Every structure is written in structure tokens, then in C-alpha cells.
Amino acid sequence: MAISEKELAFNFNEDQMRLKIRGLEQELEKIYEGGGKARRQKLHDSGKLTARERINLLLDPETERIEIGALAGFGMYKEHGGCPSGGVVIVIGYVKKKQVIVVANDATVKAGAWFPISGKKNLRAQEIAMENHLPIIYLVDSAGVYLPMQDEIFADKEHFGRIFRNNAIMSSMGIVQIAAVMGSCVAGGAYLPIMSDESLIVNKTGTIFLAGSYLVKAAIGESIDNETLGGARSQTEVSGICDYKVENDQECLSKIRDLISKIGEKPKAGFDRIESIEPKEALKKVYGIIPADRSKPYNTKEILKCLLDNSEFTEYKEIYGKSIITAYARIDGWSIGIVVNNREISKNSKGEMQFGGVIYSDSADKAARFIMNCNQKNIPLVFLHDVTGFMVGSKSENGGIIKDGAKMVSAMANSVVPKFSIIMGNSYGAGNYAMCGKAYDPRLIVGWPSAEIGVMSGAAAAKTLLQIEVATLKGKGEEITPKREKELFDSIKNKYDEQISPYYAASRLWIDAIIDPVETRKIISMGIEMANHAPIEKRYNVGVIQT
């Protein structure tokens, strides 16, 4: 039997997605090596475990987990030898069946020193803990600020000092913080474990002090070794700085598990959950549905059938504002409200054609109303991005597209129920904002390998910038041949394509992770579970919205 064009397209899309996923896996495999085999062995020789080994021992075995920012620093700091995972590993997981977030310095990467991206990543972990009232565990093993880049990490609001400010704020909020000094903990970094609720220190390998022995000698002339200055015995028996002295990494992690097991229950947000039902459609089917060519339309509802419990959803205003699909559904038993860009070409109520992935006035109005309803009903929101932006042109401008777009942005920005963003494909310009991009505080935001994030696509940006460049060169009297014009276009497009890649976004923590699409249900389910720890105390109020 001959294969149809649809089947051929599906198979091609599936192959391309699998290639992207394999490429992601290969990059992550290299990142998981940290600072390399020799540095890991050196750590083992000193009686210490690596950051990832520590996390694996701490978390409940064979339970789900989410790594935040594995690709942080990807392709950055090449002149400094790189900084895999930003020199710190952050994982949301379970300890004694209690959901926690763990922050572990990777001592194989520049002795765990803090690069600018390390600071940003640590702040992201604390943000997640604060927003979701999630217990946070710090596994400290760091040489402190990476001095060659101190000007980019020390003094500003979102720099190193913000960590300790957050320690204090979290303490006042009643969020549990446990810190273990499992290696070096020096200078300003020494405040982190001591500003936590409880602290542990590993004998012979853990040290904590404001200034090490060399600086003490230089500053006041005192000769003393680091162990005597700030080792486990000094900081538990003498100063009382730390609460627990443990003999090795394994005992330390076991003690933390014991401490976490004693935490009592607190009020929840009350999000609705029933028994989970697997989708009728296989999750991996999405590989073939998403076109490798990001400009091509596809049936977005087929994606939903692969993600949602029993492949079911109740569509809100199904025949109005068709360029956005709004629906009530469940993922892993959790009740959710979905806002997803419709990539099919459709007709509006006037019979006019509407491009897939573009937000029109009626769709923005519908989405705003749906977001308000979800806040009214205490239903978490899930945004699935494949958006090229809002509709442009005189007709849209005269119809008030800016006003309707502002209504959607306002309704979304003021949402008090938790928001989660999954970037499936395009996420361009104001469309990224309206669909709850990073600037609008999603509890988690991840991208599929097919994601693209930027002001506009590479081709659109190149065409726009090319017109400006050609006009400038012609103004200088240069003759622009078709060959020269193509060279300029390709140069601009290649640069822009690199910047809209999901890797570029993940390296800078614009998204928390790039994931295999089959992990989408897990991300949303664990995300809502952590959000459920934080009762909603603020009343929903969208402020001034022009009608």
C-alpha cells in the first residue's frame, strides 16, 4: 500500500524531532560530566561525592525529579574554560515522600566558584522555593565568587548578596531551609548555611569561615590552618555555628533525610485532583505532529489528545476566537485551564481567514475571559506556546488589536493561580508575553527541542534588518548585487537563528529546561503539586482593562 503524503510528513517530522532529542541527550551527557573525569576522581580521593552523586543519595530512589537549569551557561565563558550547568546542580524531587528543591555546588567546576550565571541560577532556585513554599536544601561546596568576574556578580540587586536577603525572607515566610557544609564555604558565602534554619558540617572535608588561613595571615598576621580555623570540630564544639557534625557525605545526607521526614503538614492551595488517567493517544505521537518546518500549520488539538488525561478536554468558546484554544482538562489528575495557540488556518465569525499561530483581537478577548474564569475557580493555568505574535496591519490596528492584546496581558499578568509555560514551537514578540513568557512569572517554563524564542523568526528578522542594511550601504554609494544581498541576508539570519535557539534561551535561564515532549505531563503535574504547597492569599484583581 502506498504511503500518503500525510504519513510521509508525519514520519519526516518524527525523525527530525528524534534527532533533536538525541542531540539534546548528547549535550546533557557531556554536561553531566561536570569539570571532567580527573576532577571527579580528585573529589573521590578526598572522600567526597560529586554534586549529582549527593543529590541521588539524598532523594528518594526511583522517584520523579525535575532538573532546573542543566543547560545554564551552555556555550558561555569559553575564555574561562566554560561553566557546565553554571557550576551548580538544582533538582526538584522527593525526600521521604516530601517534595523539596535541592541546590548543590559542583566542586569539579572551578572548585564550585560562582560565575554570574551561577548566581542567577541560585536565585531561580530560591524563587521557586518562595513562590511554592517548598523546603530548600543547600549542599554547599564552593570557593565563593569567581574573582575574575567579580564585577558581574557582587554588587547589584540580582547578584550574590541577594541570596542572603532571600535566606532571611524565606525564614520569615516559614519556608524550611537546611544547609550542609560538605566542602569549602568561605567569605560572604558563609552566611548562607548560617542563615538557614539548620546546618550540618562534614568532619575533615567541610570548612566554614569568613576568611581562610592565607587571608587571616595577610590581614592580622595570625598563622592557623583551615581545619582549626573553621572545621567541623571548631564550628560545632567551640563556636556552635553549625548544628550537626557528621563524619562523611553519606551520614550527612542520611541526617538531612531524617530532618526532612519530621516536617509537619501546612495548609494547601486546594487545587483539585482526582485519579490520573493516561491519554488515549501515545505521548510520543507529538513527535510526528509538530512540523519540522516551524512555518507549517498542524492540528493543535491532536497535540492536546497526547497530553491530557483520557485525551479529553472541555473547550471554552469553541467557535469564537479560533486562533487560540482555551479549555478545561486534567493532567495526571490535576484540574487545569489550557491556553494554547491554534496552528490551524481557520475562519472567524465573519468568514475571514485567520493564520495559524497568530493572536487576533477576538482570540485575545476570549483568552482574557478564560484566564479570569480560571482565577475565579482556583484552577492552575497551562500555556502551550506556538505563537508568531499578534496580527498586524491597518485592519487589525483600526480594530483595536493593541487594546485587546493589553486585556489578555493584564488578565494573565495579574493571575493569582499558578501559571506554567511549555514552549512547543514559536514564541515570538508580544506573543511570548501574552502567553506567559519568563517575564510574567510562570512557576516553571520549559521548551521542547522545537522551541524558538525571540522578537521574531530568523527569516523575518533578517528580511527586516536587511532592508535597513541595504539602504545604509546604498546611502554610502555602494552597489548591492544580488549575490552581496544574499550574503548579507544569510549572515544576519544565521546570527539570529542562533539567538532564537532553545539552547541560547536555556543557557541564560530564559527557560528552566529543554525537555523531551514526553516529559510534559510530569513537568506540569510536579509543578502543580509544588504550587499546591502555597495557599493563595491575594485576591484576583485585573486592575484597569479598557473594554
Residues of the chain with pLDDT > 90, as a percent, come to 73
Span 469-496, average pLDDT: 82
Q: Which of 48-52, 205-209, 220-224 has the highest mean pLDDT?
A: 48-52
Q: Of 169, 174, 197, 337, whose CA–CA distance to 256 is shortest? A: 197
What is the arithmetic mean of pLDDT over 452-472?
A: 82
Mean pLDDT over 455-468 rounds to 80
C-alpha to C-alpha distance for 198 and 194, rounded to whole angstroms: 8
State the chain's mean pLDDT as an integer.
93
Helix axes 520-531 and 116-132, enclosed angle (nearest 10): 60
Task: Say yes or no to pLDDT of 411 above 60.
Answer: yes
Interaxial angle between packed helices 482-499 and 458-475, expressed in degrees from 0 to 180 and rounded to the nearest 10: 140
Secondary structure class of 227 (helix, strand, coil): helix
- Is the pLDDT confidence value at 124 over 70? yes
**Segment 288-294 mean pLDDT:** 94
φ/ψ (deg, to 5) at 138: -105, 125
| C-alpha closest to that of 428 among 410, 396, 451, 450 | 451
The 3-class secondary structure across 67-91, one letter per residue, is EECCCCCCCCCHHHCCCHHHHEEEE
Confidence (pLDDT) at 1: 62
Q: Identify the sign of the CA torsion 253, 257, 259, 263.
A: positive
In whole angstroms, give the CA distance from residue 388 to residue 338: 18
Q: How confident is the model at residue 545 (pLDDT cuts 50, 70, 90)?
A: low
Strand extents, DSSP E, 22-68: 66-68
Q: What are phi and psi of 6, to 5 degrees?
A: -65, -45
Q: Does 546 score more than 60 pLDDT? A: no
Q: Which residue has the cell 558581574?
A: 152
User: DSSP 3-state assignment of 449?
Assistant: coil
Of residues 476 and 382, the one with the higher pLDDT is 382
Average pLDDT over residues 417-430: 96
Helix (H) or strand (E) holding 284, with range, is none
Contact 364, 434 (CB under 8 A): yes
- The per-residue pLDDT for 215 is 80
Question: DSSP state, 237?
Answer: I
Taking residues 244-261, report their average pLDDT: 98
Reported as type and span, the H/E element at residue 6 is: helix 5-31
Q: Cα(505)–Cα(72) distance, rounded to whole angstroms?
A: 9
pLDDT, tens only, 162-174: 999 999 999 999 9
Say if residues 390 and 431 touch (Cβ distance below 8 Å).
yes
Q: Report the 10 Å Cβ neighbour count for 439.
A: 10
- Judged against a pLDDT cut of 60, whether residue 547 lies above it is answered with no
* Residues comprising the chain, all counted: 547
**Which bin fits 208, alpha (ψ -120 to 50), beta or left (φ > 0)?**
beta
Residue 341, strand partner residues: 324
Cell of 199: 546546618
CA distances from 472 to 84, 130, 477, 480, 491 (A): 41, 50, 9, 11, 16
- Give per-residue pLDDT as tens, 305-320: 999 999 999 999 999 9
The pLDDT value given to residue 20: 98
pLDDT digits (tens, 9 = 90+) for 332-362: 999 999 999 999 877 776 777 777 889 999 9
Taking 60 as the threshold, does the pLDDT of residue 132 lie above it?
yes
Higher pLDDT, 145 or 346: 145
347 DSSP β-pair partners: 353
Q: What gap in Å lies between CA 403 and CA 410, rounded to an integer?
A: 10
Q: What's the longest Cα–Cα distance across the chain?
A: 87
Phi, psi at 142, each rounded to 5°: -145, 140
Q: Are strands 66-68 and 88-95 parallel, antiparallel or unpaired?
A: antiparallel
d(CA 468, CA 365): 35
Mean pLDDT, range 75-102, rounded to an integer: 96
Which residues touch 53 (CB under 8 Å, ≥6 apart)?
none
Let me know if 51 is exposed, middle or buried by CB neighbors in 10 A (0-12, 13-18, 19+).
Answer: buried
Q: Provide the phi-psi class of 238: left if phi over 0, else alpha when psi is between -120 and 50, else beta.
A: alpha
pLDDT for the residue numbered 374: 97
Helix intervals (H) in 82-183: 116-132, 161-173
Predicted pLDDT of residue 473: 78
CB 452 within 8 A of CB 511: no
Region 518-545: mean pLDDT is 92
* pLDDT at residue 242, rounded to an integer: 95
pLDDT at 79: 93
> How high is the pLDDT of residue 251?
98
Residue 421 CA to residue 384 CA, distance in Å, equals 6
**286: which 3 cell numbers?**
507529538
Q: Is-contact 301 347, C-beta < 8 A? A: no
Give pLDDT, residue 216: 81
Predicted confidence (pLDDT) at residue 3 exceeds the cutoff of 70 = yes
Q: Is there a contact between 196 and 190 (Cβ–Cβ < 8 Å)?
A: no
Q: How far apart are CA 47 and CA 49, in angstroms?
A: 7
